[in-house]
Each structure stands twice: as structure tokens, then as C-alpha cells.
Chain A
Amino acid sequence: MAARNVAMREAIRRALREEMHRDENVFVMGEEVAYWQGTHRVTRGFLEEFGERRVRDTPISEMAIGGVAVGAAMAGLRPVAEFMTINFAFLALDAIANHAAKVRYFFDGMFKAPLVYRAASGWGNQATASHSHAPEPIFAHFPGIFVGCPSNSLDAYGMLKASIRDDNPVLFTESIALYPKPSPMPDDLDDDYLIPIGKGDIKREGGDVTLVAYARGVDWALGAARQLARDGVEAEVVDLRWLRPLDMELVYKSFKKTNRCVIVEESLPMYSFGGEIAANLQERMFDYMDAPIKRVAAEDVPLPYSKDIELLALPNAQKVVDAVKEIL
């Protein structure tokens, strides 16, 4: 099938634009999404195409962005609310965790909140401590909301479409480092190409060790796998894609084959994605375990400004290779 390389931001823009054409109830709101054309250029051209009614600039009011989306969704619209970066979504944590995730539950199913929060996420580029987080696991902590974190363009396209069409609230993170990164998308891609919510994907097959990752972590895992292959070690890369629901079945299947696992994530190490996966593995796969589960995450510090020590704090492919070698 013919394919061409597309940057992830283009894939996200295409998905969003198509969904707005498909469903009149879908609208976007957020800081600088309209006249500024989107801080990350995802909504470039939207104002001209859809107008102010459906492309709504907000003031710098994250609490309101988070909560207005909930009310509008309960009332029957399908908001796609953008947090310029996920760092600012901390200000909206109550709206997300206490309202979006719970309005269905505490009224026992009377309402639904079919909304998507989009948030650019990730470390790096000397953005400094308060603008350098990949805190997806914090949001995945709460039942009632789904969390999607794509690692390439095609996944981002199919995952965002599923998120918009689903009747549950979804927090959808977009790794800033991956926005410009091209990856193949088929030329004849169907408008209804959807990736099921909670379905992981094997990004590389291998029988010696399982690397479990999501979003930017998948890049590091694939880079490590290429390096390991030169030494004759075949790593299987499991991209979970969604932090909630979590496709543990896929991890178990791989682990039964490899009996070894390294978990890779951009986020911080304590109370983390790595901890969650490792806990599930030891509970269910104890008999298949040939070595300790290893975790590669960011260092347990705020991110500094200066370039060299910033890089020291981040995970990379080499750190993954080193972790694998410790358990082979």
C-alpha cells in the first residue's frame, strides 16, 4: 500500500478537521487556538475554515477551560478543549479529575461527558522545570476518564478520532518532541480509521526482552532495540498507546515469550507508569519471570535549564540498552 511520511501534528490536524466536518457538535476551544492558529499549529487554518463559533479562543483560564468543556459536553456538544501544554492542565486538575471523570458516576449514569482534552506534553528543549513534564500517569490515576498517548502519526490520527467519537471523556496527550516527526500514513486512509480505546500495539517483534513504552518512550525503546540487535539481542517493543484502559493482555503475551521486561517512560519514576506495569506483571506473571523488572524513566529531579544537565535527566536509548544488559 502506498504511504507517505506525515508529521504527527499534520495527522492530528487532519483527524480533528475531518471530525469537525463529520459532526457539527464538535468544536475546539483553548488558548490561542483561533487567531494565533494554535501554539503548536495543530489548529492552523481552522478559524478561517470553521469560524469563531466552532474555533473558540479562551482567556488564560485553565480551570474554566476544563469545566466549560464538561458542561458543554453534558449538554450535548462534543468539545475538544486544548491545554496549550499539559503543565497548565495542573490548574484544571479539579475540573478533569473531579468533574469530567465523575459526572457520570455520581449521578449514576444520568449524564455523559463526551469531551476530549488535548494537551501537548513532554520534556526537553530547555523549557525549564515548570514547563517540562510528561505527567500522563497522574491523569490516568482517575477512573471515569481515558488517557491516550500516541507515539506516531497514524496512531495519533486513529486514536484522536476514536477519542472524539467515544462518549467518555478522554485526555489526549501529544508529545511536543513528536509533533514535527514524520512517520508513514497510507495514502488511501479511510476517514473512519479508528484505533480502539485501550488497544496496545507491537511496534517491533522480538523474543529476548519486552520493552514496554508509550508516546516518546517508544522512540527510545525502538532505538535501543536497533542497538541491541547489533549484539544479537531481539527486543519486542510494546506500545501501550493508552494509559487507561491499559492493555495488559498484550504485555502478558509478550512477557510469556521473553520472560524479561524493561519499562520505558518519559515521566518521573515515583508512583509511575513503570511501577504500575511492574506491579501487574509480578502479580500475574510471577511464574514467567526470569529476571527483575527494570524501569527507565526521567531522573527524579525537576528539569534544569542548562542543556547538558537537562539531557542527563532525560531517558534515552542508551539508558534502555544499559537496563536490558543488566537483566540478560
Chain B
Amino acid sequence: MFESFWRPTLTDLYWFSPELALVGTLVTLLIAPMIVGRSSRNATWIVVLGTLVTILLSWKVGGDVRSAGLSGLAPPEAAGMLILDNMSVYFKIVLMVFMLGVALLWSIGSAKKEKHAEEFLILLVGSALGMILMAGTLNLLMIIIAIELASLPSYAIVAFNKRNRRSAEASLKYVIFGGISSAIMLYGMSLLYGLYHTLDFARIAYGVVADLQAFAAVDVSSVAQSVDASMPAAQNTVAIGVALACFLAGIFFKIAAVPFHFWCPDVFEGAQIEVTTWLSVSSKSAAIVLLLRLVDTFSSATGAFPGGASLSALTGLAWGLGIVAAVTCTWGNFAAYRQNNVKRLFAYSSIAHAGYMMMAASVFVHPDSPLDYSPIAAVLVYILIYVFMNLGAFGVAAMVVWRSGNENIDAFHGLGRRAPWLAIPMLCCLVSLVGLPPFAGFIGKIWILLSLGASGGGLYWGLVIVAVLNTLVSLFFYLRIVKAMFFVDDGQESFTPPISGLAMVNVCAVVLVLMGTLFIEAPRRKAEFYASNLFRPAILKGGMSHAENAAIDATQGELLRLTEGVARIEGERNRRSDRQAQTP
């Protein structure tokens, strides 16, 4: 009976080793206290080691395997269960680097008085594992598991400071919002499954493109005139629309896109600042990478469609994503202006930045098009830059908050005098977040704008204009912190922050300057490499098995029936007009 089980080969395990290393870190964290006793110090070292091993393994495995997938229990054709390609490798490395930064920040801050260090780090690493899985899958089942794996530890870690009412409230809001979004997402998924009888998103995308294409092929005016024949396609379109909207809602929740953003400010305010730092980048970027992968799957599906389908079938989807992106970044920037709590302010700032990234995600490019203005590469660079901007800004904010116990902007008053080596990197990070040269934030924005401009058309030029106007709006609230640091001084005493924290934020600032001036090209080149050669299942490449061909036959049969239906309507109409012509 064991033959029927899936037994991974050594190669499979090797491909999967970065994730296994993270699992190993989790297990070690659980066991270590029993052997060597509880200690934040040891636990931090375990995490640092585990993270470094994960980075090394990802890099090594990524170097050996360019684009592949594991199917696990599903048939091998549905290989999108666990994907190992350049983009997933990139995301693993960037996320792990960011986790190192967060662990460092935690170790100089809350770790000192934390009695439950192991539990905290387990939740942190656990959510990281979920995010990594999220960035490397094309299977509906896996998507929901990954999202839950990322979310559940996040709910707990937000409430980690359990004596704090705000933390508890934030966590509860997070759980409720998260639960409802998951439910909506599952509903969307069940509709998709019902429509296409598969959990493999590549097949679903293929089917969606086929249906949308068929719908576009039907002459709409004739549908309006006479009712019956073309209705299946029209009904399908509505079902597809509902299904995709519900499905995307779950992802939008993780991105904190408007209107699924309400949890974000409360959670960011209630959580410890290290947790806020972690959530600000990780959950958003993981969901953005997942979104990019879905969008790329749609684009590839048009390329693989027999006889060729055009991207225009996906226009509605592009507009939907684009409008959500534009509203998200505008809303985030306007709402941030009214905030006095620094963590809330950064929450809205992160919503706005997610909006910028989503703009690039709304670009559907043909899979064979060159990578020059690839939106995927643009977002990958942006995520990298965003990691440094946020690590720097949150690092400074954390040190200021720990010092003063005050999370409002007035804690920053006179920081330019009190701790100049915190204030200057903070300035660099803030200006970079606005997106002004000579800092890297500008470059990140430029790549996104170039990918939008390359697509041209009303939607994308509109998004370009929305994005640059948002830069202006965001200046208002970032400058409030700058003003507090340098223009207002209410005589709070100077202080010397911990040296490792100083080193971290200053390194971030220097990286931002260098990536904004001398080293603009290198990160872009790297990102282009990592955005290339994405994993695309066989169905998206034309080389298909018998079952897949059968599926396509069925789809084409559907199309044929539609065409016949149209022909029948046309004939009917012709006959009618003939009759009218005959009876003068």
C-alpha cells in the first residue's frame, strides 16, 4: 500500500532544503530550552544561524535549479504546488536578510526583558515560513495553507505583549479581519474549483482566458438583440468575475490594499515595534510576489492559448488591479497625514507603498516580451529597497520610542541635536520613502513608472500620474517627522543609542544613498535575472499531456458551440431581415 504514497526523492528534498532549514530552526528553538535552558541570547543565535543557513541553501539551490516545481501528492502535471524558480529564491533571500535585521532590532530592544524569547522567535520564523511558501506556489490549496501559515503566527505575535490592552485589541481585529478575508477567499476558490475542476492555478488561468476570449469573440450587440445562445459564456463571465474578486480579496487583505486595509493601522499600533517592522515588509511583499505570480500566469496563459489570445481579454482584470492600486496608494498617503502615532503613520505609509507595488502588478505583459521594463523586476527591486528603507526608519523609531516611551511624533522633537546619528539616517530613509533622489526610493519608483510607461495606454499613464502626484502628497507627512527632528526642540535630553542599532540604521542609510547614485544598475540587473525564467507549468508552454489536450478540446468544443450559436443568431436575423425585405 505504500506505493501509493508520495515519497520525495533526495533531489526533491534538496530543492526543498531552504524551507526545511527553517523548519529545522523552528524545531531547534523548541528543543533548545529543554537542553540548555531558556535564554533570549541563545534563541537569537539559533535564529541567526538558521537564517544564514537558509540564505546559503536558497542561494545554492537556486544556482543549481533554474525553474522547477514539486507536485507532491498531486499528479506531476500540476507541478505548481511548490515552485522553485528565480523569483522564489530571490524572495527567500531578501526576506531572510530582513528577518536578520528584525532579529537584531529585537535583540537590542525587547529581548532583554522578554521571558518568552523562544515563543516569540518561533512565531516569527513560523510566519516567515508561511510567507516563503506563499511566494512559491500556484496551487489553490497551497495558497490558502501558506496564507494561513503566515497569518496565524502573526495574529499571535501581535498580541505577544499580552498585558497590553491595545495589543490584545489589535490582535483580535487582525484575527477577525483575517478570518473573514480567508472565508471570502475560500469562497472564491471554491467557485474557481467548481468552474474548472482543478486546484492548479495554471489550468484555472488557462480556462479563464479561454472563457474571456470566447466572451470577447461573441458580438455583444447580437447578444442584446436575441437572448439565448450566447448566455453560457456571459454567465461564466459573471461567475469568473465574482470568483476572481473573492479570491483576490484574500490577497488584498495580506497586502492591506484598500478596502481591506482597516486592520493595518490598528495592528501596527498595537504590536511591539519589532513586530510592526516585520509585518510592514514581510506580509505585504509576500502577497505582492504571489500576486505577481498569478498575474504572470494569466499573461502566460494568453500566450499559450491555441491560435493565440490577446492580452486584451484581460483588460478588465488589469483595470481592476490598477484601480485598487491607485486607490490604495492615494488613500494611504492622505490618511497618513492625520496620524500622530508614528507606528500608525508608518502603517499608512506601508499601505501607500503597497499601492505603488500593486501598480506594477497590474501590468500584464506578454510572456515572451523582453525584460527591460519587466514589472516583476521593478517590484523585486522595490522590495529590496523597501526592506532597507523600512528597516532604517523603524530602527530609528524603535530606538526613539524605547528611549522616551512615547510613540507620538513629539518623541522625535529635537532629535537632530539629541542623537544626530539617528536623525540623519532617519532623514535619508524618510526622503527615500517619499521617493526623491539621490536616494534609492526614487530609483525604485522609476523602475515601476518605466514598467507602467512601457505598457502605455490610458490606464497605465493614468497610474503614472497618480503615482507621481502621490509622491507630493506623501511629502506632507514624512516631512512632519523631519520637522519634528530638526526644526522643533523642546529641550529633551540627548542620549546615546545602542551601538549595534546605530550601526544598523546607518548602514541602511548608506545603502540607500549608494543604491540611489552609484549602484543603480547592479540591483536592477540582479532583479532582472531573478525575474526571468519564471516557473510555468506545461499547460502554459504548449507541451501538454493527453489529459490537458482533452481539457483544451472541451474548451474548444465550448467555443465551437458558442460560434455555432452566434451563427444561428446571425442566420435568424438574416432570415428576419429577408422576410422584412420581402414584405413591402
* B and A form one assembly: no
